[in-house]
Structure 1
Amino acid sequence: MKNFLRQSWSAVLVGAMALSVHAQAQTEDFRVGFVSTDRIFRESNAAKAAQAKLEQEFSKREKELTDIGTALKTASDKFEREAPTLAESQRATRQKQLVDQDRDFQRKRREFQEDLNSRKNEELQQVLEKANRVIRQVAETEKYDAVLQEAVYINPKHDITDKVIKALNAAAPGAK
């Protein structure tokens, strides 16, 4: 999702730069602002609430996976210690059981990661939508002609991220 956003904003950046050059030629009142999406995702209350929601939603499954992994490691260590004294048939049976358990564990861990990533993308998308609304409000209120979310370099005097985070944090938590 981040790469998609960066690619999208790169195209917007090129257009904004062209617009900026054109506008600069026409007037000196052209105002550009910059917002760090990464900082919004790290510092805003909406992003922190989304992170807490995800942790609550996935903590039980994460603990279960940790417990399964610990049990599998213990069983594997026990097998390694006992393998030399086991009969060939017992050794093969236990080794097959461990391989099956490990395969199941890897599958569960992969499913967990996919579910977590999917939900994280959903939550971050909601935060981004709220942030974009706030960015538009700040831009309209303070008469910005363009606000960029990605750039190679921005003069810090054009960075309005703090204003956006403050406005986003002031917005009602459930507001859409």
Structure 2
Amino acid sequence: MPSSRLPKIAAAALLAVSATFAFAQDSMRIGFVSTERILRDAAPAKAAQQKLEQEFSRREKELQEMAARLKSMGERLERDAAVMSESDRQRRQREYADVEKDFQRKQREFREDLNQRRNEELSQVIEKANRVIKQIAEQEKYDIILQEAVFASPRVDITEKVLRALASGGK
């Protein structure tokens, strides 16, 4: 096959694919939903966030108090180290190290527990949102609804409809 025909064949194939896509686009109904906005702005997402804050506020306060105590111990140790006996200094350094280790363990457990609960709550929000999205798709005859896209035109974005449906208790 002569090399001058290859670009013409490629151009013809590209034109055929473009025409097919344009035809499909005209006959297809496409929607887009921003998952990020749903997880940030939806009523169930806000309720889940409040629930988590209430559930973990006591532990967070305890950690803040422990951090303040640790800081105070460190400052006192630093300030008094020069005038303490060697045994007192070592004893207070061990106490500080023990409190610091306990603080780090509690902080790690707090983060793990919070992340686990957040994932549980967000998965429930996503399940509700997916049911609402499916309901909208069926009622309004969408062929496809995307939740991830590099770009989505505002005319195909149905996020606001989903947010309204979730706010009104849609399931």
Task: Compute the TM-score of the two structures, normalised by the length of structure 1.
Answer: 0.83
CA distance in 2, matches of 1:49, 1:133: 18
Most deviating of 110-119 and 150-159: 150-159
Q: Aligned to 2:27, what secondary structure does the other structure show?
A: coil
2:136 to 138, 144, 158: 138
2:90 paired residue number: 92
What residue number does 2:102 align with?
Answer: 104
Task: Kindly state the Cα deviation for residue 28 of structure 1 after the two structures are TM-superposed.
Answer: 2.1
2:49 is matched with which residue? 51
- How far 1:54 moved relative to its partner? 0.3
SS at match of 2:104: helix
In 2, the alpha carbon distance for the partners of 1:112 and 1:87 equals 37
Aligned equivalent of 1:120, options 118, 122, 128? 118
Pick the aligned partner of 1:164 from 152, 159, 162.
162
Contact 1:135/1:164, CA 8 A, preserved across alignment: yes
Q: Distance in 2 between matches of 1:128 and 1:169?
A: 14
Give the ranges of 4+ consecutive aligned residues of structure 1 lying more than 6 Å apart after TM superposition. Answer: none
Looking at structure 1, the residues matched to 153 and 25 of structure 2 have their Cα atoms a distance apart, in angstroms, of 20
Query: CA RMSD for the aligned pairs?
Result: 1.6
Corresponding letter in the other structure for 1:154: A
Count of residues in correspondence between the two structures: 153
Relative to 1, partners in 2 of residues 1:104 and 1:26: Cα closer, same or farther, differing over 3 Å?
Answer: closer
Do the aligned partners of residues 118 and 96 (structure 1) sit closer, same or farther apart at CA in structure 2, a change above 3 Å counting? same
Larger radius of gyration: 2
Q: CA deviation at 1:132?
A: 0.1
- In 2: Cα distance, 1:129 partner to 1:57 partner: 22
TM-score with structure 2 setting the length: 0.85
C-alpha displacement at 1:146, in angstroms? 0.3
Q: Show CA shifts across 1:25-76 (max 9, x none).
A: 4572201100001101111110000000000000000001111111111111
Percent identity at matched positions? 55
Query: Counterparts of 1:166 and 1:35 in 2: how far apart (Å)?
Result: 13
Structure 2, unmatched stretches of 5+, are 1-18
Gaps of 5+ in 1: 1-20
